[in-house]
Amino acid sequence: MDLNLDAPHSMGTTIIGVTYNGGVVLGADSRTSTGMYVANRASDKITQLTDNVYVCRSGSAADSQVVSDYVRYFLHQHTIQLGQPATVKVSANLIRMLAYNNKNMLQTGLIVGGWDKYEGGKIYGIPLGGTVVEQPFAIGGSGSSYLYGFFDQAWKENMTKEEAEQLVVKAVSLAIARDGASGGVVRTVIINSEGVTRNFYPGDKLQLWHEELEPQNSLLDILNAAGPEPMAM
Amino acid sequence: LVQFTIPIDNGDALKNAEADSQRTLYPYVTGTSIVAIKYKDGVLMASDMGGSYGSTLRYKNIERVKAIGKHSLLGASGEISDFQEILRYLDELVLNDNMWDDGNSLGPKEVHNYLTRVMYNRRNKFNPLWNTLVLGGVKNGESYLGMVSMIGVSFEDNHVATGFGNHLARPILRDEWRADLSFEDGVKLLEKCMRVLLYRDRSAINKLQIAKITEEGVTVSQPYSLKTFWEFQAFHNPTAGAQGSW
């Protein structure tokens, strides 16, 4: 039950990528932990690879950062040589190349999402081992365990941009409620033909779930507000 | 036919192989920090209401602070089932105390001493109760606040904390605690500690109770949530100027 500040930084995490009619919405929590200590309560786990392709990172913070950096570097060169924006599929396959060939050493699960003119909005899940799986939606990280049932029920094809983003925010928020390794704020990134939008949903603005209570400034406010005895024996 | 039965009621886990399967190897459902302070009129104790199951925040309505007799308050972190067992032991203790019907009642000092013996003896048998306990109380105008760990380490102080509270709350308390704290200031001080724990302890949940004990008796507050702050500019777009991933 100790802090163990020497434990590797890991993004317990909840990450999500969802396609909608026109693009993709990527979402993530913001907690990075070292053992049981929250090293960063406002991390940004949705990282840019190119203007039109982003990646959600989970697992080892170090491994996911270094893999993203290599792929950003390769994609930069690839874009110059190609003379036009890289496709989401190429980005995903570059990540796969690193994840698969270093599978014994890496511990990171990634979700690649973006928009290109050939295929539109696409999501690729790349779990441990380096499998690439194109999916209409993908979930990952430790918090995703709590979302399989939720998505089985709530996911629909051809959602609008607003519906898709609301689904992502709701899902990350539900995972944060139950996964100790996820927490903080919900960040989303929406990518479509028009460009990229970043959004930020602080912890106290999210919907309340089962057994969660409305936040107060202090117990003193409750005691002063209520009439008869609010404290029970 | 001859049947052998090996008695295991000695519970001596080290010598007896079958008793071995009975000892606690690791905790399952755990509660996180307790933070407690002495104040002007007695003792204040705060805890959240979470019961974690590994990294899952499984139970969100567990009361980890309970009244003991008329004069004491017991808070526990660690394995919840062991805490429930300790409450049963204390029930028995209080019952026997009442049966004497002699006008005396167990004070916090006595309860703390009893718990210390229980915890230390279990530790010596390699079968600990996996808890860190906080015992606070008031008797005959004197406030008392002490702590016992799962290995039997026991002491008294003006302010105590368990688990993560040791690392995050105690520095705040060392800086800001005073002997003549009013109820309001005491609550605010505890809330300051609990908010930091909420930000930085993975197993903390945003639902807490603050319990108060004075000469008059025990009161445990209704469960409530604390507001949290996320609107630092730095939090909005931390990677805006990033060269790469960070």
Each residue's pLDDT tens digit, A173-205: 999 999 999 999 999 999 999 999 999 999 888
Which residue blocks in chain A are alpha helix, DSSP H?
A: 61-82, 88-101, 148-154, 161-178, 219-225
Partner-chain contact A38 B56, CB within 8 Å: no
Q: Which residues of chain A from 98 to 127 reach within 8 Å of chain B, CB to CB?
A: none
- % of chain B exceeding 90 in pLDDT: 80
Residue A217 belongs to some domain of the structure: no
CA-to-CA separations, B195 to A7, A215, B184, in angstroms, rounded: 24, 12, 16
A202 lies within 8 A of chain B by CB = yes
Q: What is the pLDDT of residues A17-58, one digit of tens each?
A: 999 999 999 999 999 988 899 999 999 999 999 999 999 999
Cβ atoms of A11 and A140 closer than 8 Å: no
CA distance A157 to chain B (A): 30
Partner-chain contact A211 B239, CB within 8 Å: no
Q: What is the pLDDT of residues A116-145, one digit of tens each?
A: 999 999 999 999 888 899 999 999 999 999
Partner-chain contact A178 B239, CB within 8 Å: no
Residue A118 belongs to some domain of the structure: yes
Residue A233 belongs to some domain of the structure: no
CA distance A160 to chain B (A): 25
Under DSSP, the state recorded for B222 is: P
Using CB atoms, pick whichever of B52, B67, B219 lies closest to residue A231.
B219
Residue A36 belongs to some domain of the structure: yes
Residue A155's pLDDT is 95
Q: What is the pLDDT of residues B20-62, one digit of tens each?
A: 555 667 888 999 999 999 999 999 999 999 999 888 898 899 9
B236 lies within 8 A of chain A by CB = yes
Residue A55 belongs to some domain of the structure: yes
Mean pLDDT, residues B78-92: 93
Instruction: Look at residues A29, A37, A53, A26 and name the one whose alpha carbon lies nearest to residue A2.
Output: A37
Residue B58's pLDDT is 87
Domain harbouring A198, CATH code: 3.60.20.10
Residue A230 belongs to some domain of the structure: no
Q: What is the pLDDT of residues B150-201, one digit of tens each?
A: 999 999 999 999 999 999 999 999 999 999 999 999 999 999 999 999 999 9
A200 lies within 8 A of chain B by CB = yes
Buried b (16+ CB within 10 A) or exposed e, A62-71: ebbbbbbbeb
* pLDDT at residue A232 tops 90: no
CA-to-CA separations, B102 to B22, B97, B98, B99, in angstroms, rounded: 39, 9, 8, 8
CA distance A21 to chain B (A): 27
Other C-beta atoms lying within 10 Å of the C-beta of residue A225? 9
Q: What residues contact residue B46 under an 8 Å CB cut-off, 6+ apart?
A: B34, B35, B36, B190, B191, B193, B194, B208, B209, B210, B211
Domains: count for chain A: 1
Q: How many CB pairs under 8 A join A and B?
A: 135
Label residue A216 by pLDDT band (50, 70, 90). Answer: very high
Residue A233's pLDDT is 57
CA dihedral B151, B155, B161, B164 (to 10 degrees): -30
Q: Closest residue of B to A144, CA-based?
A: B56
Cβ atoms of A140 and A127 closer than 8 Å: yes
Q: How far apart are CA B62 and CA B239, in angstroms?
A: 39
Q: What is the pLDDT of residues B126-140, one digit of tens each?
A: 999 999 999 999 999
Cβ atoms of B149 and B34 closer than 8 Å: no
Q: Which residues of chain B from 181 to 220 reach within 8 Å of chain A, CB to CB?
A: 184, 187-188, 191, 199-203, 206-207, 210, 217-220
Domain extent at residue A62: 9-204
- % of chain A exceeding 90 in pLDDT: 82
Concerning whether A13 is annotated as a catalytic residue, the answer is yes
Q: How far apart are CA B60 and CA A201, in angstroms?
A: 23
Residue A83 belongs to some domain of the structure: yes
Residue A69 belongs to some domain of the structure: yes
User: Which of A211, A216, A223, A224 to mutate to probe the B interface, most B CBs <10 Å?
Assistant: A211
The predicted model scores a pTM of 0.81
Label residue A206 by pLDDT band (50, 70, 90). Answer: confident
Which amino acid, residue A19?
T
- Coil, helix or strand for B196? helix
Residue A8's pLDDT is 62
Label residue A209 by pLDDT band (50, 70, 90). Answer: very high
* pLDDT at residue A1 tops 50: no
B241 lies within 8 A of chain A by CB = no
A225 lies within 8 A of chain B by CB = no
Using CB atoms, pick whichever of A37, A42, A142 lies closest to residue B238.
A42
Mean pLDDT, residues B55-76: 93
Q: Closest residue of B to A67, CA-based?
A: B245
Using CB atoms, pick whichever of B224, B230, B236 lies closest to residue A213.
B224
Partner-chain contact B207 A211, CB within 8 Å: yes
Q: How far apart are CA B69 and CA B74, in angstroms?
A: 10
Residue A53's pLDDT is 98
Q: Which residues of chain B from 40 to 79 reach within 8 Å of chain A, CB to CB?
A: 52, 55-58, 60-61, 67, 77-78
Burial class (CB in 10 A: 0-12, 13-18, 19+), A231: middle
Instruction: Look at residues B37, B18, B97, B107 and name the one whose alpha carbon lies nearest to residue B71.
Output: B107
Q: Which residues of chain A from 36 to 95 reach within 8 Å of chain B, CB to CB?
A: 36-38, 41-44, 47-48, 57, 64-66, 68-69, 72
Q: How far apart are CA A134 and CA A126, in angstroms?
A: 9
